[in-house]
Structure 1
């Protein structure tokens, strides 16, 4: 049976994709594939040298590619503001990938603004960036916003009460909260832009060995870095397929949650995934939106 592959992506000439965490892993693979199909890609990350290396890798994969970079630290709201304002003033963003993230920080850490680091980076940094870069998204004739979540969003320890883990910090609990927040945020964004040309989608990439595991400690770290785990986990190229499908397929619709074809991430078409229980509850979406505005100090009114 025929199934979707990146070769099915239609020509992206004239479209611009902005990818947070575009310097490695899933983000870099997403950039490579889109560039091969004619898109201009903008890679955002914390380190300019690594961004330059990533841009070179994109151009190596697609010699005619337009690959630009800018420094963005999602754990610093002043960096988020400065980067977003620059993009909002000068760019049209057709595809916005909320892709960057951190995972499994062994101790509770805070961002420069005093937010719990994992949720502060994976959700709140993206929320503030999306809000302030929105004029560039609004200029597009057919914009899509794609947020990268994870299966961890289903874990019971990922409930969004105690969002900043002030009462109890668990490394993977904070990660699960951040990934549930990615879904709840995207569904609320889809509701607030319903009936417009804007499409908001969320994906989970399945298991893959990427830079996300760099903070692991103890037993979990030993597992995910072992040879056996590397054999079980998929590749960044396979894990990028749900993002690419969500960004380019005419079959998707705003508010959908898309996952990989299966453990063998390249064996079929990315499929619509079951939402975590209660993630589509409008009241939870409204609560998270209000909390995100309060914690970041950024008002987000995504008028189409």
Structure 2
């Protein structure tokens, strides 16, 4: 018997499952969290700003009164914050899924650093590498899944992150694209290492297409675009979609039983549309790039993924 066609507006029942979403106070993170909660999942909604977390949780509960959701302070640019949040989550037991969504989309014009690392790379890449490693035993216990958020920009600009900290030739756009090359390559490298060590956790990558706030429903405290933003978004309507729809590939990669490790998901028409399997940029699938970035993240964070411990946690 064939499975019914995937419907992003009607997810399978996720009651009894727990998912953690980084950067969940706005945009893709918020709407991914809402979709998970609407399907019955318990959602750990994380962010770096306590006031925004309160506003996001209140908005989610207004929209989904039966939602099971809690907040957790987490700033992916700071290793101390990552370790503290991970310790809190590990104490709870198994974790069914981890959506590595947080990130700086509009980088600073000049290179800035956090904990000694370039800010965009630290926020978009290092924090997620460290968080996924710290939570690997909890994911293994539940035989869960991690999803890294990529970008279609990696197919348009071939920025090989040989200088991931951008100590030379910094630009905001290059910092962003390199960070997305890195997250995508790390997602695939994680899957290779998980399979090689027998850890029953899957690693996938998904991208949201061209998703903009101006085409997204207004949500007080979460999405409040200006009239100009709405107008500009409508001019690009043929290429863009809402943040709600941009969350579809991320959520499908996270919960679809037919999805599996090592896959890449995105909108059907690249920039917009229902979620489908896609093909990642050649650079992000490079074994050499994946291995090099993995070692870079180990050195920069001091985190070495506990594969043996995770295998034991899975029983």
TM-score calculated relative to the size of structure 1: 0.88
In structure 2, the residue matched to 1:112 is 114
Question: Which residue in 1 is equivalent to 2:298?
Answer: 293
Match of 1:242 in 2: 249
In 2 relative to 1, CA 136–229 (structure 1 residues): closer, same or farther, beyond 3 Å?
farther
Query: Take 2:250 and 2:290, find their aligned partners in 1: how far apart are those partners?
Result: 22
User: 1:122 maps to which residue?
Assistant: 124
Q: What SS class does the counterpart of residue 208 from structure 2 fall into?
A: coil
Aligned to 1:99: 101
C-alpha contact (below 8 Å) 1:257/1:272 kept by paired residues:
yes
Q: How many angstroms does 1:198 deviate by? A: 1.2
Q: Does 1:274 align with 2:254?
A: no
Note if 1:302 corresponds to 2:307. yes
Could you tell me how far 1:281 is from its partner in structure 2?
2.1
Answer yes or no: is the 8 Å Cα contact 1:76–1:111 preserved in 2: no
Task: Tell me the alpha carbon deviations over residues 92-116 of structure 1, each in whole angstroms, 9 at most, x when there is no partner.
Answer: 2101000011023242333431111
* Alpha-carbon separation, structure 2, partners of 1:101 and 1:210: 16
Q: Select which of 269, 279, 297 maps to 1:262.
A: 269
Q: 1:208 Cα deviation (Å)?
A: 1.1
Aligned residue pairs total 290
Q: Distance in 2 between matches of 1:115 and 1:230?
A: 35
Equivalent of 1:226, from 232, 256, 260? 232
Residue 196 of structure 1 deviates from its aligned partner by 4.3
Question: Whole-Å Cα distance in 1 between the matches of residues 281 and 172 of structure 2?
Answer: 20
- Answer yes or no: is the 8 Å Cα contact 2:212–2:233 preserved in 1: no
Mapped partners of 2:174, 2:249: distance in 1:
24
Runs of 4+ that moved beyond 6 A: 222-225
- Equivalent residue, structure 1, for 2:192: 191
In structure 2, the CA distance between the partners of 1:276 and 1:58, relative to structure 1 (3 Å rule), is: same
Offset of 1:223 from its aligned partner? 9.7
- Which stretch shows the higher mean deviation, 106-115 or 131-140? 106-115
Corresponding residue of 1:46: 48
- Preserved CA contact (<8 Å) 2:158 2:283: no
Q: Does 1:149 align with 2:150?
A: yes
Q: CA deviation at 1:117?
A: 1.0
The structure-2 alpha-carbon separation of the partners of 1:131 and 1:263, relative to structure 1 and needing over 3 Å to count, comes to closer
Q: RMSD over aligned Cα, in angstroms?
A: 2.3
- Note the alpha carbon deviations across 1:141-192, whole angstroms, 9 max, x for none: x301011110112244521111111111011111111101111101011011
Distance in 2 of aligned mates of 1:112 and 1:156: 26
**Helix, strand or coil for the counterpart of 1:6?**
coil
Displacement after TM superposition at 1:263 (Å) = 5.9
Distance 2:212 2:261 in 1: 28
Say which SS state the counterpart of residue 138 (structure 1) adopts: helix
Once the two structures are superposed, residues 107-149 of structure 1 have per-residue CA deviations (whole angstroms, 9 ceiling, x without a partner) of: 2333431111111110111111111222322221x30101111
CA contact (8 A) 1:208 1:235 kept: yes
Classify 1:119/1:143 alpha carbon distance in 2 versus 1 (closer, same or farther; 3 Å). Answer: same
**Given the two structures, how large is their TM-score scaled by the length of structure 2?**
0.85
Structure 1: tracts of 5 or more residues without a match: 212-221
Which segment is superposed worse, 80-89 or 227-236? Answer: 227-236
Q: Distance in 2 between matches of 1:118 and 1:155?
A: 19
Rounded Cα–Cα distance in structure 2 between residues aligned with 1:34 and 1:103: 23
What SS is found at the alignment partner of 1:158? Answer: coil
Residue of structure 1 equivalent to 2:161: 160
Superposed displacement of residue 197, structure 1: 2.7
Classify 1:198/1:175 alpha carbon distance in 2 versus 1 (closer, same or farther; 3 Å): same
2:95 maps to 1:88: no
Deviation digits for residues 199-220 of structure 1 (CA, Å, limit 9, x no counterpart): 1110010011149xxxxxxxxx
